[in-house]
Structure 1
Amino acid sequence: MNGHHATIAAGPGMVHRLCCATSTVADGTSEILHAALNAIDDQVALVDGLPVAVDRLWRRGLRSLDCGNPQARKAIRIVHPSWWSSSRVDVVAAAAAAVSDDLEVRPRSWLIRRVSKVEPEVPVVEIAERLIAIVGDDVVAVARRADPQSVVEEVVGLVDEMTCGTTATVLIDLPDSVTGARELATLLAGGLRRRGQRTVRVDDARLSRLALSATSDVDQAPPSGVDPGRVQSRIRMFAGLAAATVVLAATVPAIAVGGHRGVDPVAAAPTTILVEGRVALTVPANWTTQRVIAGPGSARLQVTSQSDREVALHITQSLIPDETLSTTADRLKLAIDGEPAGVFVDFNPSGFTAGRPAVTYREVRASHHVRWTVLVDGPVRISIGCQSRPGGEDAVRDVCEEAVRSAHAIA
C-alpha cells in the first residue's frame, strides 16, 4: 500500500478510527455508526423512528471517518473482530468499497500481531462483550459467564492446547468499548503467567499509536464476497484467520460434506459463532443472516444457505426463569393444539437432538418443512428450526446437529 490509509476498527462494540490523534467523532456520526453496527445482521434499521437501509448507514458513517482529511477516505483499512462471520465482513467491506478507492480488509488479530511485532502464529485472545475468542490457526470461543474465574481457566486451558504446552507470547486484546475487558484481561494475564506464558496487553490506545506502522507486505488478493460489478474501487480481502474455522469450545466442528440442490447435503463451509441476545451457537460462516419479523411463526433469526434458499436455520429465544423442559413442552403443546391441523406434527415432549434432551416437532409448509428442537438452558429457552425441502432433511442434517449441539445461553 502506498500513502496514508485510514485504519477503522469495525467492532467490537463501536466503530472508530485507529490511525488518528483522536478517535472522537461527531455525535451524529457516532449515532449512525452505532445504529449500523447494532443492525449489521439486518437489512433495515430504525434511526430516529424511521427505517433506513443498513448498507446506507454504513456508507454514511464510514464516509465521515476521514481523519480530518477528505483524501484519507480514498484509502481505507478495515479491521474487524476475528470471530465475525463472512456475511458481517461483507456488509462492512461493501460499504467501505463504495467510499474508498483502495480498500484493505483484515481481521483484528492481524493488526494486533502486526503492531506487536510478533510471529503470525502467536495466539491472540480477543475479549468481546459476550465471548472471548482465542485466535490461532482456528478461532475458538468461550462464552463469558457469570463466574469470570471459570472462564479464565477455560481460556488458559485452550491456549495451552493451542501452544502444545510450550512457552509462548500471548497477545490479549482489550477494546475500550467492551465492558469489563480490563479486569478480565488482568485475570487472563495472571492465569497465563501461572502456566509459564508471557503476555502482552493491547488496548485501543496502543493500537491507535501503532496503527500507522501496520503497512501491508502482502500481494493484492482477489476480492471476496463483494460483487465486482457493483463495486469499482480496489478491494483487498485478506482471508487470513477470517477464513479459519471458528468453533465453540467443547463442541465438535461440522463435517464438511459436498452436495448440490435437492436432497443431497449442501456444501459445508467453515463455521462461525453466531451471538444473538442471550444465545450463542455455531452456524456456517458463509450462510446469510437476517431477522424475520413477518410471515408465519414468531420473530426469529434466519441463517440461510447460499446454494439453496430453502435450506436454513431459524433461531428464537425466550427468557423463562424457573421453567423446566417439561413445562416448556406443556406450553408448546397448548399452542400447537390451537393451530390448524397438519401444520405442526410429530410432537415429542421427550425427544433428543444431537444427544441433547429437547422438545421436538415438525412444521409443514408448502415449499419446505422445518424440524424444530426446543432446548432449555438455565433461564433461556432456545428454539432451533432446521428447514429443508420436503423429503430433503439430509441437506441440513449436519448443520442442524452442530447448531443444536453448540447452542447455549451466555447471559
Structure 2
Amino acid sequence: MRVLVIGSGAREHALVLALSHDPAVIALACAPGNAGIASLAESYGVDVGDPSAVADLAVEWRADLVIVGPEVPLVAGAADAVRDRGIACFGPSAAASRIEGSKAFAKDVMAAAGVPTAHGEIVDNPARLDAALRNFGPTWVVKDDGLAAGKGVAVTDDLAAARAHAMTLLDAGHPVLLETFLDGPEVSLFCLVDGTTVVPLLPAQDFKRVGDGDAGPNTGGMGAYAPLPWAPPGLVDEVVAKIVHPVAQELAGRGTPFTGLLYAGLALTAAGPQVIEFNCRFGDPETQAVLALLRSPLAALLHATATGALAAHPPLEWSEGSAVTVVIAAEGYPGYARSGDVITGSEADGVLHAGTRRREDGAIVSAGGRVLSVVGSGASLPEAREEAYRKVAAVHLPGSHHRTDIALRAVRGEISVV
C-alpha cells in the first residue's frame, strides 16, 4: 500500500512512524512534513489548505490511501477532493468536519442526539455580550466558534478577562460561544468511525495550559499520557454508547456520515461524562502517546475505516504499560514564538518533530511554536514518565520551555472521579 500523510506536526510524525513499521506499506510520503519526518518518508510541498492541490498530489504520487492529519484541510474539503479522484481517504468530509469547524454546529448535533454537554450560547454581536455573560460564571468559558489551533479558549474566574477575550474574538469577526464550566477530570477519547461503526482507541489526558499546575494561557497542548490508571471501569464503553455512537448516528441521519477519527474531549463530572468539544481528527499531543502503544498495523486499520470496512477489522491489539508525551516549545509560545535556533538531540529515538526544518548546512532548527514532542514508554506510568523526561533532558533548544508535571498527579494518585 502506498500511503500519503498530509500535515507537518508531531501528530503526523507519529502517524508516519507507525506506518513505517507496517509491512503492508511499500511506499510512504508526507506533505509538507518536517525535518524529522523526512528521515522516514518522501517529502512534498503542498498547500494543505487547498483541497485541489492535496488531491492532485495524491494522484501524481499514485497514493492508495491518503491520511489527512490537521483540521484545516479537512474543514476545507481535502478528503472530499481526494475521494472525488477515486482514492481512499482517512478523514471526514467538509460537511462532517463542521463538528470541529463550528462549535454552534456541534452543539446542534449534540442537542439532537441527546448527548450531555455544557449549556452554551452563541454571541455574534458585541451589543449582546454583557447580557449573555451574566447568564454564566463565576467561572466563564469563552470559545472561538471556529478553528483556533487550540488557543481560542479562555477559562477564567475573572469577568473582565472573559469579556476581553470575547471582545478580541468579536472584533476579529468571529462569533463567540459562552459555556457553563464543566468540573471534573478531562479525558480525550479517539474513536475510529466509518458511518455508524465506532471503534475506540485508548483514553488519554492532555494538558492545555502552558505552565505547570495548569497556569497561564491555553495552548495547542503541552503534553499527554495514556492510558488512564484512574479511569472508572467501563468508561470507554459508556462514552461510546452515550456520546460517540449517537453523534455518529445523528450525522449519518443528516446525510453527512462521519468517516475518520472522531475525538471526544470530555469532562468526567459528578453527573457523568459530558462533552467539552469534538474534533474531527487525531489530537495532538495525545496521538503521540496513544500510537506508541498500538500494536495493530496502522495502515490496514485506517484503510478499513476509510473504505467502510471497519466492522470487519480484527480487534485492536495494545502493548501493556503506558506512554507519556512532553512537548518542547519555543521561546515565546503560545505568543510570538522565536524560530531559527539550532536544536541538538532531536534525532534521538522517541523525539517527534513538529516545528522544525533542516538548514542547508544540515543543522535542524526550530520553525514553529510547539517544536518537538518527546515520548517515553514503560511498563507503568511512573516508568514512562521517567523515560520521557530523561529524553527531554537530552534535547537542547535555546530559550525553550516545557511543563515538568505531565502525568504527575496521575502518578501520585491525586486524580479521582466523583
Q: TM-score, normalised by structure 2?
A: 0.32
Q: Which has the higher contact order (CA 8 A, sep 6+)?
A: 2
Larger Rg: 1
Q: Which structure shows the bigger proportion of residues in strand conformation?
A: 1
Q: TM-score, normalised by structure 1?
A: 0.32
